[in-house]
Structure 1
Amino acid sequence: MVAEPHIGVLALQGDVREHVVSLEECGARASPVRRAGELSTVDGIVIPGGESTTMSRLLEAFDLLEPLRRHLAEGMPAYGSCAGMILLAGKVLDGRPDQHQLGALDMIVRRNAFGRQVDSFEEDLDVTGVGGGPMHAVFIRAPWVESVEPAVEVLARVPETPAAGRAAGRIVAVRQGSVLATAFHSELTGDRRMHELFAGMVGAR
């Protein structure tokens, strides 16, 4: 057990500060990660929302792509929200041909599945392993999970309601071992339960 896990937040683009604040409010120590050497100083990594193709290019430009892949392959816990979920997936639909994947989750995601930014969507979700009632989720140009392999545990789906439209029943939160991912932006609502779950995963290593 790690009493105060040190969790890095990939700080190339996206909601870095929001994730740092959320993690610190859960009792973790959090810091931005911009260089490969900093990966070795943290117990886990958060990959925030942003724009997945831009983040993919920046990972390569900052020489972080292969070191991050290596750390994930060696078991480093990771949590990806929105674009972070896309990057952690083994395969992405509707992505650019040159987009890099980290391959830490055995699943296929569809990029921008919920539509353009103006088509942002909110819903209350029941999340497996998270107590305290439904979680209000905010989806902004979000992906959803098309399919998962048996090793991937489905934690949440969009409820089957008229308001959900074609998103009804889609997978939006998953876990595979020490890797967690959500299609929604858990850092934007003030609900820290996803970050508490992840901090607990990191601390239990």
Structure 2
Amino acid sequence: MTTAVLALQGAFAEHESRLKELGETVIELRDSDDCALAFDRLILPGGESTVQSKLLKERGMDTLLRRKIEEGMPTFGTCAGMILLAQHVDNGQGGDTQSGALATFPACVRRNAYGRQLGSFHTVDTFADMQVPMTFIRAPYLDSVEDSVSVLSRVDGNIVAARWKNQLVTAFHPEVDSDTSVHEYFLRM
């Protein structure tokens, strides 16, 4: 099976490294032509969600990827990737919300919920009944989710990982730690 990683900006190389450690075939998506390649899964990495959203639209990738996700392709969004997937995004400006570039995950995400770069932190906590390292970098969290969403992890009471149908989201960056448990969970989806 082949996993595609959105390679417009952000931590895509780190995801590719983890996948290759697990023996996966990996391709990069950089423009709309790449979306026509054969792949079975999709990872949307952390980085700058605003930049990624803009590039997805400019390169005509947003509609193509949204269709694949809605048709059931297993998709994993980390940090900025979680923001791209969210149906509602709270920018922390008086309750004003918008939708993520792909808007396929029924939840509201709060951008930069833990503050700026200085608010970044590392912890070990439970994800889907496993203890995993969690690195949060200018991280969001899920403010609210629809009832059909399975919450997989909370840190300090905040939802930092969840699954809905074929979609997995994490506020933390499993790709920057050597533990591959979260990627293995995704590959089993």
- TM-score, scaled relative to structure 2: 0.92
8 A contact 2:89–2:98 mirrored in 1: no
Deviations 1:64-119 (A, max 9, x none): 01111111111111000000011111100007978743122110000000100121
Deviations 1:7-52 (A, max 9, x none): 0000000011110110111221111111223234110110000011
Higher strand share: 2
Residues 1:31 and 2:27 are matched in the alignment = yes
Deviations 1:167-198 (A, max 9, x none): x2000000011110100010001111111111
Tell me: CA distance 1:42–1:74, structure 2 relative to 1, closer, same or farther (3 Å). Answer: same
Greater shift in the superposed pair: 100-109 or 78-87: 100-109
2:103 partner amino acid? G
What's the C-alpha RMSD, in Å, of the aligned pairs?
1.6
Which residues of structure 2 form unaligned runs of 5+? none
Matches within 5 A, 1:13-162: 13-40=9-36, 41-94=38-91, 100-129=100-129, 131=130, 134-158=131-155
Once residues 100 and 145 of structure 1 are traced to their aligned partners in structure 2, the CA distance between those partners, rounded to angstroms, is: 13
Which residues of structure 1 form unaligned runs of 5+? 159-167
SS in 1 for 2:88: strand
Once residues 141 and 75 of structure 1 are traced to their aligned partners in structure 2, the CA distance between those partners, rounded to angstroms, is: 29
One of 162, 183, 187 as aligned partner of 1:195: 183
Count of residues in correspondence between the two structures: 185
Structure 1 segments of 4 or more deviating over 6 A? 95-99
SS in 2 for 1:20: helix
Equivalence for 1:6 = 2
8 A contact 1:48–1:81 mirrored in 2: yes
- TM-score, scaled relative to structure 1: 0.85
Once residues 97 and 150 of structure 1 are traced to their aligned partners in structure 2, the CA distance between those partners, rounded to angstroms, is: 20
Higher relative contact order (CA 8 A, sep 6+): 1
SS in 1 for 2:19: helix
Once residues 6 and 116 of structure 1 are traced to their aligned partners in structure 2, the CA distance between those partners, rounded to angstroms, is: 35
